Amino acid sequence: MIKPKMLKKGDKIAVVSLSSGMLGDDRFIHKYYIAKKRLEEEFGLEVIAMPNALKGSKFIYEHPESRAKDLMDAFKDETIKGIFCAIGGDDAVRLLPYVDYEIIKNNPKIFMGYSDTTVNHFMMNKAGLVSFYGPSIMCEFGEYVKMFDYTKQAVEDILFSDCINYEIKSSDIWSNDFVPWKEENMNIAKKVIKEEHGYETLQGSGVVSGKLFGGCIDVFPMIIGTEIWPTENEWKDKILLLETSEEKPSPDLITYYLRNLGAQGIFNVIKGIIIGKPQDEKYYEEYKEVYIKVLKEFNKEELPILYNVNIGHACPIGILPLGTDIQVDFTNKKIYLLESPTK
């Protein structure tokens, strides 16, 4: 896998809207300016929005080709060192006809987002580029009052540093609070709760190493069977990352999604599974039961599973680099980056 260069102060990063265009809507544009100011003042970055990124929900929905052009142009622009996604959504898959994988491959740079951005991470994987499952402009960088320390530290440590042998630790706090996105709420901070669980091993044990890949499981049905979905052989020896969206899919739906992965033979070739904390801890125990049940259906009771990782739709979240070697100690519930995802 091709590694992008790490970020440094003074670098220019581009904001793209690859799925939802809500960042550019009048009632939400203040989130962009919060994020821009924070990225510039706290991280020392120069922030630009690509030409179509702030044109609003209607335009973005109607013009997937313009979204893709922003992405391709951001990769081609040598002055841009990183690409951060505005937010997720539900139709990044519509960019597929307009993506040039050679442009991505020949212009490696940091690409980051989560949720429906899972589609774009699979594009990066097809191009052979390491990418970063992590914070978005609207949700994390545009957080009211202040960015969560856990997330800010992850950005500094993973995007700006050589983080070989870095430990991805569990956050000691979490939040199920939602402050409505309105300008009058900009001075209201989320309430936090002490983390009681930490990482949990659902089954299996020992230390496992492999390249991490995956994303938001809700998105998988849209891309299975497309040119970006890996073959069974391409899943071989991977550690699979799975997390669930703000839709909070029912345990039955997760059962169906997992059975599909099992039927593809993916559970036969991967080395382990990492699962994100469900948003608001909805279905926290029910999801655990589903994972154990479905893996048993496929005779994979020994396939190790680590649960409740701060990634994706959890709050706060860290960053997990996709396409790089990680080590998961399922016995002691620890995650390490075996290599730096940047160069």
Does the residue 246 lie in any domain? yes
Does the residue 155 lie in any domain? no
* 72-106: b (≥16 Cβ within 10 Å) or e: bbbbebeebbbbbbbbbbbbbbbbbeebeeeebee
Give the chain's mean pLDDT: 98
Does the residue 258 lie in any domain? yes
Q: What is the CATH number of the domain that holds 243?
A: 3.50.30.60
Examine the domain organization and report whether 231 and 128 are in the same domain.
Answer: no
Do 341 and 130 form a contact (C-beta atoms < 8 A)?
A: yes
Residue 82, pLDDT score: 98
Banded model confidence at residue 235, pLDDT cuts 50, 70, 90: very high
Domain span holding position 50: 12-147
CA distance 98 to 209: 35
Residue 12, pLDDT score: 98
Please, where are the H alpha helices in the chain? 29-43, 57-62, 64-76, 101-106, 118-127, 149-159, 220-223, 251-263, 266-269, 284-297
User: What predicted TM-score, i.e. pTM, was given to this entire model?
Assistant: 0.97
Q: What is the DSSP string of 39-93?
A: HHHHH--EEEE-TTTTS-HHHHHH-HHHHHHHHHHHHH-TTEEEEEES---S-GG
Q: Which residue has the tokens 């109607």?
A: 62
Q: Which residue has the tokens 């179509």?
A: 52
Examine the domain organization and report whether 202 and 302 are in the same domain.
Answer: yes
Which of 44, 43, 54 is CA-nearest to residue 16? 54
Average pLDDT over residues 311-340: 98
Banded model confidence at residue 29, pLDDT cuts 50, 70, 90: very high
Examine the domain organization and report whether 184 and 245 are in the same domain.
Answer: yes
Give the CA dihedral 294, 295, 297, 300, nearest 10 degrees.
180
Examine the domain organization and report whether 189 and 333 are in the same domain.
Answer: yes
Q: What is the CATH number of the domain that holds 18?
A: 3.40.50.10740
Q: Is 279 left (phi over 0), alpha (psi -120 to 50) or beta?
A: beta
Residue 199, pLDDT score: 98
Examine the domain organization and report whether 207 and 323 are in the same domain.
Answer: yes
Banded model confidence at residue 227, pLDDT cuts 50, 70, 90: very high
Residue 248: partners with Cβ closer than 8 Å, 6 or more residues away: 278, 279, 280, 282, 283
Does the residue 202 lie in any domain? yes
Average pLDDT over residues 32-37: 98
Does the residue 28 lie in any domain? yes
Q: Domain total for the chain?
A: 2
Does the residue 313 lie in any domain? yes
Residue 138, pLDDT score: 98
Examine the domain organization and report whether 65 and 100 are in the same domain.
Answer: yes
Token pair recorded at residue 212: 């991490």
Residue 210, pLDDT score: 98
Output the CA–CA distances (angstroms, integers) from residue 163 to 3, 4, 146, 310, 343, in the order listed.
13, 14, 25, 18, 10
Examine the domain organization and report whether 102 and 188 are in the same domain.
Answer: no
pLDDT in tens, 1-12: 999 999 999 999
CA distance 157 to 109: 17
Examine the domain organization and report whether 186 and 327 are in the same domain.
Answer: yes
Does the residue 321 lie in any domain? yes
Examine the domain organization and report whether 51 and 143 are in the same domain.
Answer: yes
Examine the domain organization and report whether 206 and 95 are in the same domain.
Answer: no
- Considering the chain, what percentage of its residues have pLDDT values greater than 90? 100
pLDDT in tens, 128-144: 999 999 999 999 999 99
Residue 223, pLDDT score: 98
Examine the domain organization and report whether 182 and 74 are in the same domain.
Answer: no
Residue 261, pLDDT score: 98
Does the residue 342 lie in any domain? no
pLDDT in tens, 146-197: 999 999 999 999 999 999 999 999 999 999 999 999 999 999 999 999 999 9
Examine the domain organization and report whether 76 and 195 are in the same domain.
Answer: no
pLDDT in tens, 266-308: 999 999 999 999 999 999 999 999 999 999 999 999 999 999 9
Residue where a domain terminates, one of 147, 182, 204: 147
Average pLDDT over residues 5-30: 98
Residue 1, pLDDT score: 96
